[in-house]
Structure 1
Amino acid sequence: MQGEVPPRAGRGIREWCEQGAGLHEAARSLRADHVGAVAAVRAAYEPLQAELVGRELESIPVARLKDATDGRLRLGAMEEAGFGSVRAVYETSRYALRQVPGVGEQTADRALAAARQIARAVAGTVTVRVDVDHPEPRTTALVVALHRLVEAGPELSRALDAAERLDTRLGELLPAARPAGGRLRLALAGRERRERALAAAAELGDLLADAAATDVRLLLAQASTDLLRPAVPDLEAWVDFELRPAEYYGRLTEVSEQRPDAAASEGFVPSEVAERVHAQRLDDTYRRVSLRGYQEFGARFALVQQRVVLGDEMGLGKTVQAIAALAHLAAEGHTHFLVVCPASVLINWAREIRARSTLRAFTVHGPERHDAHAEWHERGGVAVTTFDVLHTLPAPDGTPPGMLVVDEAHYVKNPDTRRSRSVAAWTERCERVLFLTGTPMENRVEEFRALLRHLRPDLVPVVSDTDAAAGPHAFRRSVAPAYLRRNQEDVLTELPALVHTDEWVELRPADRAAYQEAVAEGNFMAMRRAAYTDPETSAKLQRLRELVAEAAVNGLKVVVFSYFRDVLDSVRAALGEGTLGPISGSVPAVRRQQLADDFTAVPGHAVLLSQIEAGGVGLNLQAASVVILCEPQVKPTVEHQAVARVHRMGQIRAVRVHRLLAADSVDDRLLRILARKERLFDAFARRSDLADATPDAVDISDVGLARRIVEEEQQRLAEHAKAGTA
């Protein structure tokens, strides 16, 4: 006897099935669109990879084929026939090899199999790099194909995850639920089938309600639209690549499936720690940027281990890993977070949080710090404060921040200082604490013990000088529960050789007063170097010292460029003895070259100072891997040529370019005006032969730009003064 048909069966469930079928089709379409976009990238990538593999195989003697066959291969006949390299065999057909006198069927097959085995091994070692200064049709095709994936943004990954889940689940639910879409068909179905259909229909209804609440349809539709956009013009793709090369290389890594050594990219942590980290899901709902594989691991490590030191080498994105962890915790329901950092990077942190996530950032510093703290306390978000201000903030009442992040954590190595005591008080209250430092702790075991006393006092007795003496890998394994460090050579195999970072700072009172005076006088050049008026308190000089110090502990050479000789004099005084230069217009060419040679000859860390128009042309400074620009340049080509002295053919390390910028100043104004120029024209002109010969031809007028900036700054400061906020 058939059971009674529930009243919800029939039309309502039929509508659910129709909606589910539409959602299923949207999910399947997105997955197909993504497959097509990935195929386009692979089609452009594979010829470039094949060429690199071919070059490597060309350098391998054909005799090495014996190594892949345990010496059982006879190659005399092939060598006599002119097969001198593995490449010659690899690119020859089976039929052609068999035509060689003395080469039988078995020998030909074994030789080809050995050549292919070696080629697969070589393919895992070569890295396709995109030379932005020498574009050619094949690399242009790759950049254009990648542009579609990059432009889709981090939402693409979220949409693909949703599409995969929906494709799988709806593929099961729809056939099972359809019998419940007709009252008669359901009534005639057996009891067991009817119950299955109704259960599937109920789950389908829940799935559709959840999809509607989270706008999944819109997410899928937008992702498909992004993947189906027409290819952009070549030049536009190249310009975009220059603006965000790391995102292009990140997508290329995903598509090409080339990964750095897993153990190295995971900091050589023990397998049991790595397994826990891999099992941690990373929610990107509140994140605006895609992460590299090693960066995802770092963010997950911080979440899983809860109280850790992230000690990645400078330039690997410690800040974005911290922001990713904060964004994940926000998605889990945590509302308040606290970042403590030196004053020199305060503005940078606030800007990065706003750019890389949807979290609110509050700068708790300066005269209005108490108001900012109160607003953070009421509204939630990320409070960014300094070591010197932290002790003035009221202790958290009730629930502490979801995570405390301490940047440049080596600042708190001395437990007797006020900053260390303040940090210690907050770390005791917070369940999750993330210390960031680019200083290699295995070289400073006592410093590391000091940091562990804040985070994991139980591990302090475990850390010994013996572990450090055994080498960095052994040290990292011994302290794996609380320390993760990756070096650039471990994870940057596919990254571009040039990474730009804008270092934003706030003008200190003395520099601010000098700046306002220069604006009032209409003195453009004085405005540009006002940030160095008081070397004792200059925020730019403070940040410069920190960058140089971090480069020193990592054994990296640094070139510091400025347009102004007096700025370089201040830098020299700030850095002390041992600084080379400055190279300036008054230094003869022979002496300039001698300074560059002396810089190259210094073993390990060294610093060279140079006026940008004197050292930016003609000299080879590729011994350096860190460039610091003391101020933005009026002519973009001047900056470009100076960086090119370091980032050039033969450079074996990634080059990090740090541009020091003062917020609410001529620096900010200059960048905004230059950004509004026709950047496509600039990029085209800069690559043309004419522009290389006469770079001034594509730069805007110094006089016109200076006049415009002075006028705009005078107006802005006048408005602030009128409002009582100057």
Structure 2
Amino acid sequence: MKRTFSFAEARELLQKHEQWETERGMLCEKAEDCRAVVETACEHFVAAETMKTLRDIPVEELNRERRGLRVRLLRESGYANYEDLMLASEEQLAALNGISEDGAALIKDAVGETVTQLRPGIKLRLSADKRTEETSNIVLSLYRYRAAEGLSRDAQALSAHYAAGIGKAMEELSRGKGFFRWLFTGKAEKDAASEAYLYLEELANGAYGTELTRLREARLESEASSAETAWDSFRTQPIVYSNLLEKLVPGLLGNGDAVYGLPEELAREVEAEPLFADGMRCELRRYQAWGVKYILHQGKVLLGDEMGLGKTVQAIAAMVTLRNAGATHFAVVCPASVLVNWCREITKFSDLKAIKVHGPSRQAALSDWITSGGVAVTSYETVQHWELPEDFGFSLLTVDEAHYIKNPGARRTVHVRNLALRAERLLFMTGTALENRVDEMVELIGVLRPELAAEIGGMKMLATAPRFRELVAPVYYRRKRDQVLTELPELEEQESWCQLGAAERARYEADVLNENYHAARRVSWTVGDIAQSSKAQRLLEIAEEAAAEGRKVLVFSFYLDTIQKVKGLLGERCMEPITGAMTPARRQEVLDAFDAAAPGQVLAAQIVAGGTGLNIQTASVVILCEPQLKPSLESQAIARAYRMGQARNVLVYRLLCEDSIDERIMELLAEKQAVFDAFADKSSAAEELELDTKTLGKLMAEEMQRIEERQAVEALAREQDKAAETTEEES
């Protein structure tokens, strides 16, 4: 074959491929290099946080164990705390007059021991609102690692396809780099060199060269990316970053408990359960994947994870895994208020078909499900209308807010339990802490595991609590947010106290004295002119500040009247309020509009209507217009925003008025909370915290007495002032 290239062209082509070989090698190793950068950034964070803690330990702590060190001398020499000692060398300490070499070594050993004890307790909370140099470096390194994973994967695929052929072709073409070597090359080798040139030139001008150029440009772009770009990415995908960090630096987020409270033997069995998540459209957190395995392994369970931990996603993932193993039919029973939300989340998070069995077309929808399979989503009220073939069964029944069927005599309970008889597996879900309602727990477990319900039925005493938890572990599984979501940005709660103006006070005191309890609870909101409401003005200030920070706001009140006044106060800045009268479909439309709205938008809702069943991570400010008599209502409302997927710190403002029923309610709740905490820490049978009617009646009576006494004092003072004025005039 005639030579098809010049020696210069051969050298140029070989040089190009040598550069590409180097680039491809770099790209193949890029992910590992970036992983090391992540680990280093995390190490710097831990070191910085450790030093901050050392700064708070005074040098006098050295002698807590009576080491006999001259701490006064150290302080006078400028060593005020453990950070100063950590930064000093042993030689610098020994150079102090009065500190021996042995003493200096003892000091460094003591500080080093403290560091060793501190480091495992350093945990990371990433928040786009509280950036430091260290956390920005971590987020940036994770951002670059994510890019590097894809680049490395693509580069390795190129290597697997082309590396051997390119290596051979480059060796054969190397004979054509110069005249003398070519002169002494045989015909067969010359022909091979010419073919190699054509092959390498084709690669350079074809898909191989184009792809390597793309990968190189992507690498350079990633290496040039800024912390701001990385934080923007974090805001939109915080779960991805948390999962990645858990994988690369286990334990830094504080999620080190791999068994999540299960007995050891059961935990081993759950861990071995296969999980086939093909078809899920979201990443499962590690604790969520564990929950899915628990559901699948145990077959009939009550999942009681705290709100915000993704019980719905775990249920969907369990269905997907069963579908991938051959199952075809699943059903969900839920309150009508979240029926639309269930359908949307099934479609959003998986490739499963959601069929809403509700309303006028319920029979047609049910027939469709029976025929074609998928997930039938229905309400408690609609279950009674289900007509299924006699021998029809399905794979999994999920019952959301399962405490709705706590009463065995209720019609909806009977209908749901009859439907449960047709399901191979049962998943009951509730965010309510059923440890505090043992009777309800026993009723629900009675459907799942009748023999176990009989055993735990009488176990309500403190002494039996450990045994109780051990017995229910195979069927009841509950994890708390602070156990598994330690990486969530901080929740900052603030009591925002307002001072009543004259008009507000007059209206409030009249309401109390007229024994109008509900009007009294709406203190400040009942004033004739909303412009004179101190709570309304504070709400305006918070909303304006939130808008300036690019935040969205949720406003909750028990009272429809208050919510309507909030809407009137904010005008177009406030969405259509969510109330108990709103249809589920309309509520979903409002939520979608709120999610898509610009920062600064406000969504107001009655707390009993909007405090459950919603996922509103786009909001990061929560305003409570009055204290709730049932703190769990507040917790549920806050959890609408402070939940998995939240990328910002969540700010909670409780609007309260001094010298009003707000103050009395907060005091009573604090007292009850202290008692509850002391009891609940030791027992699973504590009663739920709530102010009862008797307590409220006493509270109102005390408030009436306080107002009457104050008014009497003020009246007496006015009379005395008037008498003094009369005396002055007569004299």
TM-score (norm 1): 0.56
Is residue 350 of structure 1 aligned with residue 343 of structure 2? yes
CA distance in 1, matches of 2:215, 2:452: 46
Contact (CA 8 Å) 1:267, 1:484: kept in 2 or not?
Answer: no
Contact (CA 8 Å) 1:580, 1:595: kept in 2 or not?
Answer: no
Is residue 115 of structure 1 aligned with residue 108 of structure 2? no
Is residue 143 of structure 1 aligned with residue 139 of structure 2? yes
Contact (CA 8 Å) 2:122, 2:252: kept in 1 or not?
Answer: no
Shift in CA distance, 72/464, structure 1 to aligned 2, threshold 3 Å: farther
Contact (CA 8 Å) 1:313, 1:438: kept in 2 or not?
Answer: yes
Is residue 62 of structure 1 aligned with residue 39 of structure 2? no
User: Which residue identity does 1:60 align to in structure 2?
Assistant: I
User: Which residue identity does 2:37 align to in structure 1?
Assistant: A
CA distance in 2, matches of 1:276, 1:595: 52
Shift in CA distance, 73/223, structure 1 to aligned 2, threshold 3 Å: farther
User: Which residue identity does 2:233 align to in structure 1?
Assistant: D
Name the structure 2 match of 1:49.
46
Q: Secondary structure at the match of 1:383?
A: strand
1:113-192 maps to which residues of 2 (within 5 A)?
Answer: 113-133=109-129, 135=131, 138-148=134-144
Contact (CA 8 Å) 2:255, 2:483: kept in 1 or not?
Answer: no
CA distance in 2, matches of 1:469, 1:224: 65
CA distance in 2, matches of 1:397, 1:383: 18
Is residue 333 of structure 1 aligned with residue 326 of structure 2? yes
Is residue 381 of structure 1 aligned with residue 374 of structure 2? yes
User: Which residue identity does 1:290 align to in structure 2?
Assistant: E
Shift in CA distance, 264/80, structure 1 to aligned 2, threshold 3 Å: same
Could you give the per-residue CA deviations for residues 665-706 of structure 1, whole angstroms, max 9, x where no partner exists? xxxxxxxxxxxxxxxxxx9xxxxxxxxxxxxxxxxxxxxxxx
TM-score (norm 2): 0.55
Q: Secondary structure at the match of 2:355?
A: strand
Could you give the per-residue CA deviations for residues 560-584 of structure 1, whole angstroms, max 9, x where no partner exists? xxxxxxxxxxxxxxx9888646859
User: Which residue identity does 1:324 align to in structure 2?
Assistant: A
1:174-573 maps to which residues of 2 (within 5 A)?
Answer: 230=222, 232=225, 234-258=227-251, 268-395=261-388, 400-464=393-457, 466-467=459-460, 469=462, 475-497=468-490
Contact (CA 8 Å) 1:583, 1:615: kept in 2 or not?
Answer: no
CA distance in 1, matches of 2:122, 2:312: 29
Q: 1:96 aligns with which of 92, 103, 117?
A: 92
User: Which residue identity does 2:303 align to in structure 1?
Assistant: L
Q: Secondary structure at the match of 1:431?
A: strand
Name the structure 2 match of 1:639.
602
Shift in CA distance, 329/150, structure 1 to aligned 2, threshold 3 Å: farther
CA distance in 2, matches of 1:296, 1:112: 44
Shift in CA distance, 56/335, structure 1 to aligned 2, threshold 3 Å: same
Shift in CA distance, 299/100, structure 1 to aligned 2, threshold 3 Å: farther
CA distance in 2, matches of 1:407, 1:321: 12
Over the matched positions of the two proteins, sequence identity in percent amounts to 32
Contact (CA 8 Å) 1:337, 1:382: kept in 2 or not?
Answer: yes
Q: Secondary structure at the match of 2:333?
A: strand
CA distance in 2, matches of 1:119, 1:248: 28
1:14-33 maps to which residues of 2 (within 5 A)?
Answer: 32-33=29-30
Name the structure 1 match of 2:532.
588
Q: Secondary structure at the match of 1:316?
A: coil
Shift in CA distance, 352/224, structure 1 to aligned 2, threshold 3 Å: farther
Shift in CA distance, 233/390, structure 1 to aligned 2, threshold 3 Å: farther
The CA deviation at 1:236 is 4.3
CA distance in 1, matches of 2:257, 2:27: 34
Shift in CA distance, 28/400, structure 1 to aligned 2, threshold 3 Å: farther
User: Which residue identity does 2:240 align to in structure 1?
Assistant: E
RMSD: 5.0
CA distance in 2, matches of 1:419, 1:224: 62
CA distance in 2, matches of 1:438, 1:224: 49
Q: Secondary structure at the match of 2:262?
A: coil
* Unmatched segments (≥5 aa) in structure 1: 1-26, 164-169, 171-221, 500-554, 559-574, 597-604, 618-627, 660-682, 684-726
The CA deviation at 1:226 is 9.5
Name the structure 2 match of 1:550.
none
Shift in CA distance, 471/267, structure 1 to aligned 2, threshold 3 Å: farther
The CA deviation at 1:39 is 2.8
Q: Secondary structure at the match of 2:530?
A: coil
Q: Secondary structure at the match of 2:394?
A: coil
CA distance in 2, matches of 1:474, 1:229: 58
User: Which residue identity does 1:411 align to in structure 2?
Assistant: Y
CA distance in 2, matches of 1:468, 1:312: 24
The CA deviation at 1:484 is 1.0
User: Which residue identity does 1:590 align to in structure 2?
Assistant: S
User: Which residue identity does 1:414 align to in structure 2?
Assistant: N
Q: Secondary structure at the match of 1:48?
A: helix
The CA deviation at 1:363 is 1.9
Q: Secondary structure at the match of 1:405?
A: strand
CA distance in 1, matches of 2:78, 2:568: 53
CA distance in 2, matches of 1:474, 1:30: 55
CA distance in 2, matches of 1:224, 1:355: 34
CA distance in 1, matches of 2:349, 2:217: 23
Contact (CA 8 Å) 1:646, 1:655: kept in 2 or not?
Answer: no
* Unmatched segments (≥5 aa) in structure 2: 1-23, 161-213, 497-516, 541-555, 572-586, 604-617, 625-633, 642-647, 649-731
CA distance in 1, matches of 2:55, 2:38: 26
User: Which residue identity does 1:116 align to in structure 2?
Assistant: G
Q: Secondary structure at the match of 2:489?
A: coil
User: Which residue identity does 1:245 align to in structure 2?
Assistant: P
User: Which residue identity does 2:248 align to in structure 1?
Assistant: V
Shift in CA distance, 255/460, structure 1 to aligned 2, threshold 3 Å: same
Shift in CA distance, 293/109, structure 1 to aligned 2, threshold 3 Å: farther
The CA deviation at 1:250 is 3.4
The CA deviation at 1:227 is 9.2
Q: Secondary structure at the match of 2:454?
A: helix
Shift in CA distance, 616/359, structure 1 to aligned 2, threshold 3 Å: same
Could you give the per-residue CA deviations for residues 482-516 of structure 1, whole angstroms, max 9, x where no partner exists? 111122232232212479xxxxxxxxxxxxxxxxx
Contact (CA 8 Å) 2:333, 2:377: kept in 1 or not?
Answer: yes
Contact (CA 8 Å) 1:148, 1:229: kept in 2 or not?
Answer: no
Is residue 36 of structure 1 aligned with residue 33 of structure 2? yes
- Range with greater deviation from structure 2 (581-590 or 477-486): 581-590
Q: Secondary structure at the match of 1:346?
A: helix
CA distance in 1, matches of 2:326, 2:27: 30
Could you give the per-residue CA deviations for residues 446-484 of structure 1, whole angstroms, max 9, x where no partner exists? 101110111011111222454464597664333111111
Could you give the per-residue CA deviations for residues 524-561 of structure 1, whole angstroms, max 9, x where no partner exists? xxxxxxxxxxxxxxxxxxxxxxxxxxxxxxx9999xxx
User: Which residue identity does 2:436 align to in structure 1?
Assistant: N
